[in-house]
Amino acid sequence: MVNFGKRLMADQLEEWKEYYINYKMMKKKVKQYVQQTQNGGRNREQVLKEFSRMLDDQIEKIVLFLLQQQGHLASRIEKLGEERALLMEQADASQISELREAYREVGIDLMKLLRFVDMNATGIRKILKKFDKRFGYKFTDYYVSTRANHPCSQLQQIFKQVGIVAVVGALSRNLAFLQDHQGNFPSIYDHPSITLKDPIIEQINHSVQKLTHATNLLQFIGQHALIIPEDMHSGSEDLVDDQSYHFMSLLLNLANTFLYMVNTYIIVPTADDYSVSLGAAATVCGVIIGSMAVAQVFSSVYFSAWSNKSYFRPLVFSSIMLFLGNLLYALAYDVNSLSVLIVGRLLCGLGSARAVNRRYISDCVPLKTRLQASAGFVSASALGMACGPALAEPDHIVRENSVNTPSSDSGHRRNSNLEDGLAQPFLIDAKESLDENGEDNDENEEDPEDSHKPATSLAAAYRLLTPSVKVQLLIYFMLKFAMEILLSESSVVTTFYFNWSTSTVAMFLAVLGLTVLPVNVIVGSYVTNLFQDRQILVASEIMVLIGIAMSFRFTSHYSVPQYVSSALITFVFAEVLEGVNLSLLSRVMSSRLSRGTYNGGLLSTEAGTLARVAADMTITAAGYLGQNSLLNVTLLPSFVICVASIVATFCTYNSLY
């Protein structure tokens, strides 16, 4: 395949040669930057500034020429419009035919301009991708988001092609008018469903659609859309997706996601009473809740590997395991066996197919509807998280010891796989290993073939972790640990200090779960357009730290407003932190970790699962110190880990783009 640099030189118009992106020069500069940083001659911040300035100059050159050419086309259309007004009075068919051909000549020149924009947009995308690959992290998001969202943006001309589309509209309207000598053809604006059957207009529309498809990738990255793979599929690939995609399959996948979250959270309000009714201590519910997370450590690995080959069979297996697990969990009461109960939760953990749910959307849902599908995934997860506690039926649990012992209401919450956040940055499938058809094949410029192979073991995956990636995994561990502590000990705390009933705790958790969607909408629609991800990351970490600090009991009196406000701050900003953290993690992580069994999604899932296991073990161990000490003892590790994550974030702040 001819590499892009050679194709650009071969396809560009000679008279416009000086206005194309100087891709060859930019490519050499990237290579020089790599050598200079490796030799210590320049630091990365200097390179980023110089590269940004150089690319700004290239884009400005392209955009100014584009505006100039649009002006020329507009002037020609204006003059033809004056001629059209005169000819309509004469109704000379031969002259009208000549005028129509003149409009079509403008259309041919417009297609040249569309090709010019297409080639340059591809060049911008490819040089940014090459820069990311060479330096080991993704600078593209930072560059595009800062340029595209600026009020004086030049990049918007490439993103939206507003001027070009206006020219297309003028051509279409006038050619439609001339199609009938009397001007009786209905207006394209009054009747948008009517298609003008003109070969030039059809070619132009096809070119505009192709250009919009090509430049949407940059716009998507600039808007921090976390679910679209880095490499855009070709048109033929997307067509295959359309042919193999079934909407009912997506609905079943979302239903599976919803039911899994309900299954995880429905035991939360009653887990403490259940353990007491079986003759165990209240603190044993930490083991009950943690057992599912322990099983997930192993299930996430084989589900990740299984999803490389199939989606249907893993989901069927998951459903069977969840059914058996819930059956044993229910039978444990009748047989009065704590062991049966724990085995049931272990089976539920072995049926955790969240990785399969996410990968199905990225692998099987067409590109044009993937954003909506991912939003549905987040919504189904959030709804399941909120409905689980609300659907719990505490009246079925015998509270024999609850009258005399307040601690018997001390259920521990398990924050199940709350890996939704703003959206899932690890909705990245194995197909992402395929570069788009137009990928650079520059001689001796691309990485060796081995550098594109996925990691084949956890040890190999760990060796690919840079300091920035490790810090992001630490942050993910911290937020999951803090969330698990908050939710799992909520029954203990509220019963001991406020004498809340199980139903009250269930409603409180449901309200917390319902904050997921509005928070995601606000952050995704507004906050990310105003601030960089790394800025949101630091601010969210600090707010989580404040929420944890507010949760401590400093005096003998612990009030409901203090607990509720601190819990809301911790939970809401942990949600924000999760989405931004996974976004940054996907950008600083090696491309080799975006596919295969041992991918970035698996690493983050393992980090989160281990955090939940550690939190549940902390709660169980702290229970032996007494209910009076439980709150502060369990919050202390969260506070320390949060402080450590903030310090680590500042140490790697400049590498987060």
pLDDT at 482: 93
22 pLDDT exceeds 90?
yes
The Cα angle at residue 498 between residues 494 and 501, in degrees rounded to 5: 65
- pLDDT, greater one: 657 or 123: 123
The pLDDT of residue 285: 66
- CA-to-CA distance for 488 and 5, rounded, in angstroms? 57
Q: Which among 618, 641, 653 has a CA at the least distance from the CA of 293? A: 618
Write down the pLDDT at residue 261. 81
d(CA 105, CA 311): 52
- The per-residue pLDDT for 474 is 94
Per-residue pLDDT tens digits for 209-242: 666 655 544 443 333 333 334 444 444 344 434 5
Instruction: Classify domain 247-393+463-652 at the CATH class level.
Output: mainly alpha
Torsion of CA 96, 102, 108, 112, to 10 degrees: -150
CB distance 481 to 638 below 8 Å: yes
Does residue 189 surpass a pLDDT of 60?
A: no
DSSP 525: I
Six token digits for residue 341: 């109960």
Q: Over the range 614-644, which residues count as b (16 or more CB within 10 Å of their CB) and which as e?
A: bbbebbbebbeeebeebbebbbebbbebbee
d(CA 383, CA 389): 11
Instruction: List the chain domain ranges.
Output: 4-182+196-225, 247-393+463-652
Q: What is the pLDDT of residue 562?
A: 94
Structure confidence at residue 276 as a pLDDT band (50, 70, 90) = confident
For 546, the token pair is 């404040």
Looking at residue 126, its amino acid is K
Q: Which residues contact 587 (CB under 8 A, 6 or more apart)?
A: 137, 138, 141, 657
The radius of gyration of the chain's CA atoms, rounded to the nearest angstrom, is: 29
pTM attached to this predicted model: 0.55
Q: Is the pLDDT of residue 392 over 70?
A: no
Query: How many CA atoms, within 13 angstroms, populate the side-chain half-sphere of residue 295?
Result: 23
The reported pLDDT for the residue numbered 548 is: 96
Query: Which residue is it, tokens 């992106």?
Result: 21
Least confident of 345-349, 480-484, 521-525, 571-575: 521-525
Please check the confidence at residue 457 and state whether its pLDDT lies above 60: yes
Kindly report the CATH class assigned to 4-182+196-225. Answer: mainly alpha
Q: The dihedral of CA 435, 440, 444, 447: what is its sign?
A: negative
More confident position, 51 or 275: 51
Distance between start and end Cα atoms, the chain: 32
> How would DSSP label each residue in 404-461?
T-GGGG-----------SSS-TT---GGGGSPPTT----TTTSPPGGGGSPP-SHHHH
Residue 540 has pLDDT above 90, yes or no: yes
